[in-house]
Chain A
Amino acid sequence: EAGVAQSPRYKIIEKRQSVAFWCNPISGHATLYWYQQILGQGPKLLIQFQNNGVVDDSQLPKDRFSAERLKGVDSTLKIQPAKLEDSAVYLCASSLVERGGLFFGPGTRLTVL
């Protein structure tokens, strides 16, 4: 069974530029999460999808962050414009609701200069 795929693995941009991350969850997993993890901290939920609907985006900075999961499968997370404090690892996870448990991708390390 293929795991959660993410790309790119690393990205370096300058502040005020835009960036997009892509995630493909495990096949059949209806729930998809985007987390932000700043160095030395636990992951913070940015947005949670159930199929292609948003369950929770209460901590998503909507003035600069956006996310979509148009066909209920893969998802993109965008930052526009980026700030220095957006430097972090962006983690995507998926779960099969009935069985529970999150499965994470390798993450994308973003550096904003």
Chain B
Amino acid sequence: KQEVTQIPAALSVPEGENLVLNCSFTDSAIYNLQWFRQDPGKGLTSLLLIQSSQREQTSGRLNASLDKSSGRSTLYIAASQPGDSATYLCAVHMGSYQKVTFGTGTKLQVIP
């Protein structure tokens, strides 16, 4: 059974700081990995999707890396802004029927 862990559970940083969020998974035979953002009371917004054959994906100030052999993914946020405050979730996709397991999330607060 796939287990997904996100550390830290919460993080508070001053505006402008670069930061890294971590996602670990136990079964490395993944199809792809997806990072989401969730604002309070809202649904999940997709940030980045990394296929199993890829090492990283970039979108603006966000960069996600994937190391299947070690069972880890990181989400790097450059020059953080107060608007980045949200909960960040990673989701691991298994197999062609896309069974998906979520981590418990990292709650990020960027202080102005």
Interface range, B side: 20 to 34
What is the count of residue pairs linking A and B with beta-carbon distances less than 8 angstroms? 62
Interface string of B44-67 (1 = CB under 8 A from A): 111001010000000000000000
Asked whether B97 lies within 8 Å of A102 as measured between CB atoms, the reply is: no
Q: Which residue of A lies closest to B52 (CB)?
A: A100
Interface string of B87-112 (1 = CB under 8 A from A): 00101010011111111110000000
Point out which of A31, A103, A104 has the most chain B C-beta atoms below 10 A from its C-beta.
Answer: A104
Asked whether B43 lies within 8 Å of A105 as measured between CB atoms, the reply is: yes
**Which residues of the partner chain A approach B101 to less than 8 Å between Cβ atoms?**
45
Q: Is the interface of A mostly helix, strand, loop or mixed?
A: strand
Interface range, A side: 20 to 34
**Which residues of the partner chain A approach B44 to less than 8 Å between Cβ atoms?**
43, 91, 93, 102, 104
7 contacts between A and B (CB under 8 A): A33-B100, A42-B103, A42-B105, A48-B99, A55-B97, A55-B99, A104-B44
